[in-house]
Structure 1
Amino acid sequence: MPIYKRFIQHVILNYIIGSFIAVLLVGAIFIFSTLNVAHYEFLGLMKIIAFSSIIMIACETLVFRMHLGPVRHFFLDKRTTFEDVEAMYIRIHRLPNLSVLRIMGPHLLGFSIPAAGMAIWMIHTRQLTLPFYYVGIACIGACLVASMHAMIEFFLTMRAIRPLLIEIRDRTYQKYGINISLRGRVLLSLRHKFQLSATLIGAFPLFLFCLATQIRLEHLDEALSSSYWLWAGTILLFGVAFAYLGGWLLTREIEQPIHHLLEKMNEVKEGRLNDKASDLYSDEFAKLVEGFNIMVEGLKEREDKNSQLQESYFATLAAALDARDAYTAGHSLRVAEYSVIIGRRGGLNETDLDLLRKTALLHDIGKIGVADAVLLKDGKLTDEEFDQIKMHPVMGESILRQVEPADAMAPYLPGVRSHHERYDGKGYPDQLCGEDIPLFGRIIAVADAYDAMTSDRPYRKGMQKEKAVMILEEGKGTQWDPYFAELFVEEWRRNKGIMS
């Protein structure tokens, strides 16, 4: 509650500041420096201002309480849900917009309507000797002053709500462990904010000057008065157009670097760290761009180091596995090489080829859990021993699931588990068939079989590569995926020297 009380104090202070600048300072100077009134008329004008101000304050206070009532209840109520917090976070962000509506609604109308009514009555009853059209000029002036007051109130409220937002963010993190934010949602665009403000700042003094001049020159004859408004209207038209154009140019100048940085941020989010933001600016955006580029360089260096560590991690695991059996040394590296050849011929992109290569490096990692007596046995395996060997895809998947973060290993799991599935459904561990077998599993199965057939074992010598290729051809559509097996055979025959 203390944070809310301080907020209310700031809002009230802001309102007093805005009212003093816009209403008392500008409005009073406009009225009393422009009008030549007698003493009794001055008192009449003060009565109009005092009575209208009371109505204005009453109307505005009612709306003010309506706007802030939910905020007050939120900070008093301890039994709030996360949905309540999210809704209040958005509502507080809308308070500057609501302050503009409050100024242009109950504030302006609560003052102008009673003031105009009293002024017309007092002119009609001769308590004021002013022309009736002065009431219209006063209403136009009130709209101008209220617009300036609304702009001041908007920016002061923007500043006042920040402690409330920080308090809600801290509470949410402590209670739910979530950093609450608008997640990029725009409640009021920069274009509207800057363009309306610049146009108002440029047009406000022109309108005020023209209205004041009309009053001061009221004794001119009709011809001169018409000539004045032709001149004044031209000045107003060009002044407002120039203010709008200036606001548009200013907004575009600010939006362009922001959009450029947002585009580069999305590239970083997608993992593209090669392109820097263009340093085309000579103002504070130059510092922002330089800081962004330094951040991207740091991310790229860290990404490169992580990639090197990951490469080393995969290669080390593969080497550690191959080191258990001198006869299969280099098996994982060769299977990875053959798998990439097949994948490239099959049209995989570079990202998928990298995932395929790493999956192939780890495809036999489950053999770590197989006893040496079984894995390194010289003779033929018994059925029980072969059943142990057949568990290594499942054990490999289980081992990789222990690596954190879990999503880092997720792309490799299907290929590791399924590289011994057969295209006809007679493989293991899940008896998948056809294209139900994961893509990487079907590719690695071809590469693994070729290297297994051509590698020496303690109990047999590796077969001739031509014979292994013939077996692959014969097994297309039964043991191996016919498409990938054919790709490998074609590549082998085209590049025998490379794949020997």
Structure 2
Amino acid sequence: MFENVQVVLADDDPLNLDMLEKMLQNFECTLIKAGNGQEVIDAISAHPRVDLVVMDLNMPVLDGYEVLRRIKQNVHWHDIPVVVVTSDGKDVATVLELGANDFLAKPFNLCELRHRVMNQIRNKRLADFARNTNAILEMEVAKRTAALQQALAKSLQTEYEISLRLGRAAEFRDQETGSHLKCISQLSKRLGQLARIPEEQCEILYFASLLHDVGKIGIPDSILLKPGKLTPEEFGTMKEHTVIGGKIMSGARDYPVIEAGRIIALQHHEKWDGTGYPYGLKGDEIHIFARVVSIVDVFDALLTERVYKRAFTPEETSSIMMDESGKAFDPQLLELFFRHVDEFHTLQQGIHTDTLPNAGITEMIR
């Protein structure tokens, strides 16, 4: 037997109400009597866990049709089963259409009444159980999802931190790359956005681009810090920084930023026409991330003074880079870059003059 069952009995005839009450008095439930339709509504409002309504159709104030309509249209009540008591068979189709769950024809007997009431209460309790179970499951899923999201965020933050530290390792080897790293990171993300790379991928590009020169860790100081022009042999050694960077970050396919960093480190000196290094990749064989980084890398390098060169003017930089369209650079990507070159120049200058916020890990991970 179910516990704490509440049944509303409604009839404007006190004798009928008393008869219903006596027929159900051994049913181990709380019986709430109502003499008109409004009292039914009031009883449901006052007892939020009503399990069943048994009511006559012909009642004052609000008739059974209106009560049934209000119950079934109320988002909080529509699951309450309603058994309609009627002496006119013509009413059955109408009340079933309005949402009645069952009906009793007058005169009714005790056995039929008990079975119909029991069936409806059982259905109601099963529906409540299913709904409560679903709510509990949804809460558990929400908690597990939140925990997974927190774990993922922590994992990404750790990956970003590693990327930043690896990038800074190269910075310590080459003192000229400090603000250069910040430029590559911010300009790469912006060009990726303009190229309609999905925002999630732009975030990966933002951090992975920090790793483009991490392979310089393996280049001797005599070559890396040489103020003059490199000999062909020295330049051959310098080119190895791409392969070294790729090896440093190999075997990390489960870590999107590190894997993207590996690709960028390997490919950011490849050229659109296939004359780059280390593998001579051509056109779309070069990953879009590496094509983006190669443009902003050269852009910043040309505009920045180095121990071996002066800083070129924006006009000179544009001329030099446009001459390499379709040669060193993806022509469509380069054309897009120069359509927004003023924005990129403002970003680049702001970073090198410290008028933009320092892109430390706290600021970089938003």
Q: TM-score, normalised by structure 2?
A: 0.59
RMSD over equivalenced CA pairs, Å? 2.9
- For 1:164, the equivalent position in structure 2 comes to none
More strand by share: 2
- For 2:10, the equivalent position in structure 1 comes to none
CA distance in 2 between partners of 1:399 and 1:251 (Å): 54
More helix by share: 1
- Correspondence 1:341 to 2:220: no
- For 2:118, the equivalent position in structure 1 comes to 239
Aligned-pair CA distance for 1:309: 5.1
Cα separation, partners in 2 of 1:332 and 1:240, compared to 1, 3 Å: same
CA distance in 2 between partners of 1:255 and 1:388 (Å): 64
- For 2:135, the equivalent position in structure 1 comes to 256
CA distance in 1 between partners of 2:268 and 2:260 (Å): 14
Aligned-pair CA distance for 1:308: 5.5
User: What amino acid sits opposite 2:173 in the alignment?
Assistant: R
Q: Does the 8 Å contact 2:214/2:245 carry over to 1?
A: yes
Where do 4+ consecutive residues of structure 1 move more than 6 Å? Answer: 402-408
CA distance in 1 between partners of 2:293 and 2:169 (Å): 20
CA distance in 2 between partners of 1:264 and 1:326 (Å): 47
- For 1:201, the equivalent position in structure 2 comes to none
Aligned pairs for 1:325-364 (under 5 A) are 325-364=174-213
CA distance in 1 between partners of 2:344 and 2:259 (Å): 34
Render the CA deviation track for 1:18-68: whole Å, top value 9, x for unaligned.
xxxxxxxxxxxxxxxxxxxxxxxxxxxxxxxxxxxxxxxxxxxxxxxxxxx
User: What amino acid sits opposite 1:255 in the alignment?
Assistant: N
- Correspondence 1:485 to 2:328: no
Aligned pairs for 1:23-38 (under 5 A) are none
Unaligned runs of 5+ in 1: 1-227, 274-298
Cα separation, partners in 2 of 1:459 and 1:350, compared to 1, 3 Å: same
- For 2:62, the equivalent position in structure 1 comes to none
Cα separation, partners in 2 of 1:425 and 1:373, compared to 1, 3 Å: same
Cα separation, partners in 2 of 1:268 and 1:490, compared to 1, 3 Å: farther
Render the CA deviation track for 1:92-119: whole Å, top value 9, x for unaligned.
xxxxxxxxxxxxxxxxxxxxxxxxxxxx
- Correspondence 1:377 to 2:226: yes
* Partner residue of 1:420 out of 258, 264, 269: 269
Cα separation, partners in 2 of 1:453 and 1:322, compared to 1, 3 Å: same
Q: Does the 8 Å contact 2:163/2:257 carry over to 1?
A: no
Unaligned runs of 5+ in 2: 1-106, 350-366
- For 2:289, the equivalent position in structure 1 comes to 440
- For 1:291, the equivalent position in structure 2 comes to none
Aligned pairs for 1:39-188 (under 5 A) are none
Cα separation, partners in 2 of 1:406 and 1:493, compared to 1, 3 Å: closer
Cα separation, partners in 2 of 1:248 and 1:311, compared to 1, 3 Å: closer
Aligned pairs for 1:427-466 (under 5 A) are 427-466=276-315
Q: Secondary structure at the match of 1:427?
A: coil
Q: Does the 8 Å contact 2:205/2:260 carry over to 1?
A: no
Q: Secondary structure at the match of 2:348?
A: coil
User: What amino acid sits opposite 1:314 in the alignment?
Assistant: S
CA distance in 2 between partners of 1:449 and 1:361 (Å): 15
CA distance in 1 between partners of 2:192 and 2:215 (Å): 23
CA distance in 2 between partners of 1:370 and 1:336 (Å): 22
